[in-house]
Structure 1
Amino acid sequence: MIENITATDFQLGPNLTGKRIVVAMSGGVDSSVVAALAAQSGAETIGVTLQLYDHGSAVKRAGSCCAGQDIRDARAVADRLGIMHYVFDHESQFRNSVIDHFADEYLRGRTPIPCVRCNMGVKFTDLFRLAKELGADCLATGHYVRRVEGVDGPELHRALDPARDQSYFLFATTSEQLDYLRFPLGAMPKPQVREIAQQLGLVVANKPDSQDICFVPEGDYASVVRKIRPEADSDGPILDLHGQELGRHRGLIHYTVGQRRGLEIGGLAEPLYVVRLDPERQAVIVGPKRALAVSAARLVEPNWLGKVQGRKVMAKVRSLAKPVTATLEGEWLRFEAEEYGVAPGQAAVLYEGDRVLGGGWIEETLGVMTAEAA
């Protein structure tokens, strides 16, 4: 299988002799296989791992990354491949730019995506600097996306395997970064990646994939937020759309837009859902499912990789959501049909076919019921 991989997969020309590739190694099977492909291409290959956190639970947790056992796995793979491997301590930067932001967003009644923030900041920004300081011709990662040469330069495209595609989490990749990045796994199915790892006898060949948020043991994000911001457990009222109190909640961090379970409100004529979170009143606002429908979302901090204004595009407003038709008018993304589950703090990523045109952070939404009432 590995014999079919050529130097051109790194898009540095047909011959990589004399070239240098830095590979971001998280300790998982994907980045380990990228390092193997780079090493067998003829280029000088250097593995770099950022230590991002190291609490006791993460060290023992299968499917985490960039800590404890994962760093040891990355080093073992590098030794097996005969390549240089460096570990850089970025724990304080990761805490300040990702973990603290994650906690603060929940206190603001928003639903954060720390994986995007990590890619935007600590991973890509710092890895870029390190790779260039090491004199690398490119930085290769194990992300499942494709870099395609277009008429106006490199473009970001979905992975060929839709089940593995990570393009939603990479919408903030800039054109300058994309020019330097390489994604050799974007055209591969996961079984092929594992087969390569097994052929080479890599210790991570059967290692489980990363799950949930890497720095949250057992998926219990509320405990992480409580540890960083103890005030996050403050209770408050559960209000209907008219401001009537229906019950009490146990802290905003336990609720997200669209949630139905866990409200513990009895005697209702119809199911109620979390419509929004109001941190100023420490209130959870609930309403019927119809109240979740939105007609538009305002985007901030955008990153565009193609023309989007005034065009019909396909918009993805959650990582697992199906893309829907929408048009960007200024800051407002207007949906062709009402959309559900659009939450401030999440990202809206725009596509044209398989190409990622960019995206932005959802700052606020325009509810269908609100517009009808007006």
Structure 2
Amino acid sequence: MRVLAAMSGGVDSAVAAARLVDAGHDVTGVHLALSKNPQTYRSGARGCCSLEDSHDARRAADVLGIPFYVWDLSDEFDAGVVQDFLAEYAAGRTPNPCLRCNEKIKFAAVLERGLALGFDAVATGHYARTRSEGGTVQLLRSTEERKDQSYVLGVLNQEQLRHSLFPLGPATAKAEIRAEAAARGLYLAKKPDSHDICFIPSGDTAGFLTSRLGRRTGDIVDDHGAVVGAHAGAHQFTVGQRHGLHLSVPAADGRPRYVLAVSPSTNTVTVGPKELLAVRAMTGIRPTWTEAPVAGAWRGLAQWRAHAEPMPATIRALGEQMSVELDEPAHGIAPGQAVVYYDGERVVGSATIAETR
């Protein structure tokens, strides 16, 4: 099989490519250049898109003895991920750029180009599994629960899954991956994992948003409408946030307050006690399905952050919307996040949260 191995410059994708070579596949490595100026993206351990990373990926490909290329997808990345990120925050929502990158770049633009060039599949270093069942490719959680990344792959459809490989899916602890990399002579065996958002090298999301969306001062109000502080831009806040509020009026009971809502139309941020963050139901839009769409209501698990605890729920398909009713209330669920629904370990699909109740 001709396989295009996406090599980020990290240890996971390098070992994934190595395992494909061992399996006898015809492997070509490709690194994605996602910034017009990669030196602005990061240095050290933040992100996954720097000039340093491209050099690391090339050295790993040399050790494996496979062809290697760098593909410039910076325009696609800016349009599909960065601009979407900015638009969502400007609208008072909280997006997940890694999930959007998988949807728009790694398993769309890269896969489309790879198939056009005669490759059979794209492989990544994600911790997830696939399984063929009756002619259908199922997406499953990784057996390494602490590293499971099936949540950010929940936007993939059946056609994409048919051409996707995840060599790290079987039970493999991160320490074993590093030991395997060292044994193979891959010097990046000790390279730290990437963290944060790759196009925000400082980790200062609020500062990045202000630099792109500007400053627009407004009020922070409590759950009764009383002004308790001021902000420099509603886009700097997300539902569930506790730190960085700088409230001028403390709560009467002395308890901490959290962001309950962000309203761009009135440029206000509403704060209140944690119990007002409790959510029992949510409505999702733009549903996606890893297999055939599921009609009607069914019981499953709902997860709304990459490492959130999945919770039992009743899930209903309502045309182009999804209704998710949790058995127990959960806190800190924000519009704009993706809710991914599971049937046990199997990923069923996803939707973008439009409303919580």
TM-score by length of 1: 0.88
Counterparts in 2 of 1:1-374, with a 5 A limit? Answer: 19-53=1-35, 54-187=37-170, 188-229=172-213, 231=214, 233-265=215-247, 266-270=249-253, 271=255, 272-305=257-290, 307=294, 309-329=296-316, 330=318, 331-366=322-357
Question: In the TM superposition, what is the alpha-carbon distance from 1:308 to its structure 2 partner?
Answer: 6.5
Shift of 1:55: 4.4
- Contact 2:42-2:201 at 8 Å conserved across structures: no
Task: Pick which of 204-213 and 323-332 moved more.
Answer: 323-332
My pick for the range that moved more, 299-308 or 115-124, is 299-308
- Residue 163 of structure 1 aligns to a residue whose secondary structure is helix
- 1:8-28 CA-to-partner distances (Å, cap 9, x unmatched) read xxxxxxxxxxx3111111111
**Alpha-carbon shift at residue 235 of structure 1 (Å):** 1.5
Indicate conservation of the 8 Å contact 1:297/1:362, yes or no: yes
- Segments of structure 1 that go 5 or more residues without pairing to the other structure are 1-18, 367-374
Q: Is this contact kept in 2: 1:175–1:305, CA < 8 A?
A: yes
* Secondary structure at 2:202 match in 1: helix
> Contact 2:9–2:54 (CA<8 Å) still a contact in 1?
yes
Give the Cα–Cα distance (whole angstroms) in 2 for the partners of residues 159 and 308 of structure 1: 26
**Which shifted more, 310-319 or 245-254?**
245-254
When residues 261 and 228 of structure 1 are mapped into structure 2, their CA distance, relative to the original with a 3 A threshold, is closer
Q: What percentage of residue pairs aligned between the two structures are identical?
A: 40
1:241: Cα distance to partner? 2.6
2:43–2:50 CA contact under 8 A, matched in 1: no
| Counterpart residue type for residue 223 of structure 1 | G
Shift of 1:59: 4.5
The Cα of 1:57 is off from its aligned counterpart by 4.1
Which structure 2 segments of 5+ residues have no match? none
CA contact (8 A) 2:127 2:147 kept: yes
The normalised TM-score by structure 2 is 0.92
Letter of the aligned partner of 2:343 in structure 1?
Answer: E
Supply the RMSD in Å over aligned alpha carbons: 1.6
Deviation by residue 1:121-161 (Cα, 9 ceiling, x = unmatched): 01211111222123122211110000112235110000011
Distance 1:308 1:205, change over 3 A: farther
Does structure 1 conserve the Cα–Cα contact (< 8 Å) formed by 2:46 and 2:201? Answer: no
Moved more, 260-269 or 271-280: 260-269
Deviates most, 20-29 or 59-68: 59-68
